[in-house]
C-alpha cells in the first residue's frame, strides 16, 4: 500500500486534497482521483506515483543510521512523486519565504481565478496575467518571478529540452530563471525530473543535517548537498523526504 496521505498531502505537492475517501489532484490538463484504499492504479497515476521505482533497493540503500531508520518507520511506504514540470516549477516559485499552508492556498487562488474547470491554469495564461492580479491572489513579491518564468516557459522550448538534460545542466538552467535559486531548482529536479540524489535543502532539512547529523550550520548549500548525496548514495532525495516529514511532524 502506497502511503498516499503523506505522499500526496505532504511537502512535495500542493495540488492534492482529500475528500470523501479519495485524493483529488488538479493539474493543468486533467483532474486525477485516487481512492484512499486503492491497490491498483491506471497508467497515468502509476507514472505520477513512480510505481516502477525500485522501492526496496532505495530503502535498503538509505537505511544508514537510526535517524533515517526512525523516519522510515514513521512514514512507511512514502514515495517521491513525478509531477508535471511546469506546474511544479511555478508552484515552487511560490514557496520562497512562505509556509506550506499558505502556498497551498495561493495555488488554489490561482486555480480558481485563472484556471478553468477546476484545472490549474495553462502556463501562458499565467504569463499574460497582470502582476497586480497575481498579487491579489496572494503571491506577494513572487508575482513578478511567477509571471516572468511563465513567459520564458511559453516562449522557449525549455520544458521539452530539460527532460533530456543531465542533473547539473538542468540545475544551471533552472537557477537562471527568475525566482529560482538552488532550493527551488532542487525541488524541481527531484519532484518532477526524478533526480533521486538531489535533496532540496530548506530550513527543515538543513535543521536535520545540523541537529541530527552534526553538520556545521555555516556549511554552504552546495557542500551540504554534496555531503548528503554521498552519504545516501544516490537516493538523498528520498532520504530527505523521510527526514523532512519526520522533523516537521515531531
Interaction site with DNA (CB under 7 A): 10-12, 95-103, 105, 135, 138-142, 145, 175, 177-185, 187, 200, 202-205, 240-241, 244, 248
The nearest distance, CB 239 to DNA, in angstroms, is 11
Nearest-angstrom CA–CA distance, 86 and 95: 15
Give the dihedral sign, CA 76/80/82/85.
positive
The nearest distance, CB 144 to DNA, in angstroms, is 8
Phi, psi torsion values for 138, nearest 5 degrees: 100, 10
Active site residue 57: no
Nearest-angstrom CA–CA distance, 104 and 29: 19
The nearest distance, CB 11 to DNA, in angstroms, is 2
The nearest distance, CB 187 to DNA, in angstroms, is 6
Nearest-angstrom CA–CA distance, 172 and 26: 29
Which residue, 35 or 155, has its beta carbon nearer to DNA?
A: 155
Which residue, 229 or 240, has its beta carbon nearer to DNA?
A: 240
Nearest-angstrom CA–CA distance, 131 and 92: 18
Q: Is 233 left (phi over 0), alpha (psi -120 to 50) or beta?
A: left
Max CA separation in the chain (angstroms): 50
Annotated catalytic residue within 133, 183, 218, 220: 183
Q: Do residues 243 and 214 make contact, with C-beta atoms less than 8 angstroms apart?
A: no
Nearest-angstrom CA–CA distance, 119 and 27: 6
Which residue, 56 or 99, has its beta carbon nearer to DNA?
A: 99
Which residue, 37 or 130, has its beta carbon nearer to DNA?
A: 130
Catalytic sites, residue numbers: 183
Amino acid at each position: 500500500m502506497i502511503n498516499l496521505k503523506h505522499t500526496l498531502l505532504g511537502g512535495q505537492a500542493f495540488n492534492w486534497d482529500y475528500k470523501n475517501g479519495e485524493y483529488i489532484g488538479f493539474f493543468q490538463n486533467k483532474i486525477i482521483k485516487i481512492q484512499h484504499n486503492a491497490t491498483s492504479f491506471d497508467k497515468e497515476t502509476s507514472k505520477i506515483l513512480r510505481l516502477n521505482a525500485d522501492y526496496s533497493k532505495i530503502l535498503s540503500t538509505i537505511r544508514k543510521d537510526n535517524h533515517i531508520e526512525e523516519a522510515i518507520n514513521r512514514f512507511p511506504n512514502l514515495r517521491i512523486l513525478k509531477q508535471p514540470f511546469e506546474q511544479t516549477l511555478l508552484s515552487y516559485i511560490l514557496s520562497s519565504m512562505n509556509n506550506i499552508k499558505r502556498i497551498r492556498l495561493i495555488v488554489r487562488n490561482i486555480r480558481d481565478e485563472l484556471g478553468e474547470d477546476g484545472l490549474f491554469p495553462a502556463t501562458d495564461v499565467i504569463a499574460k496575467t497582470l502582476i497586480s492580479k497575481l498579487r491579489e491572489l496572494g503571491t506577494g513579491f513572487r508575482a513578478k518571478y511567477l509571471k516572468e518564468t511563465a513567459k520564458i516557459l511559453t516562449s522557449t522550448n525549455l520544458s521539452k529540452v530539460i527532460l533530456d538534460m543531465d542533473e547539473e545542466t538542468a540545475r544551471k538552467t533552472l537557477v537562471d530563471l527568475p525566482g529560482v535559486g538552488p532550493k527551488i531548482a532542487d525541488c524541481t529536479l527531484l519532484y518532477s525530473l526524478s533526480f533521486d540524489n538531489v535533496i532540496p535543502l530548506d530550513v527543515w532539512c538543513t535543521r536535520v543535517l545540523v541537529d541530527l547529523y552534526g553538520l556545521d550550520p555555516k556549511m554552504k548549500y552546495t557542500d551540504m548537498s554534496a555531503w548528503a548525496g554521498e552519504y545516501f548514495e544516490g537516493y538523498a532525495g528520498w532520504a530527505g523526504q523521510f527526514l523532512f516529514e519526520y522533523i516537521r511532524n515531531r
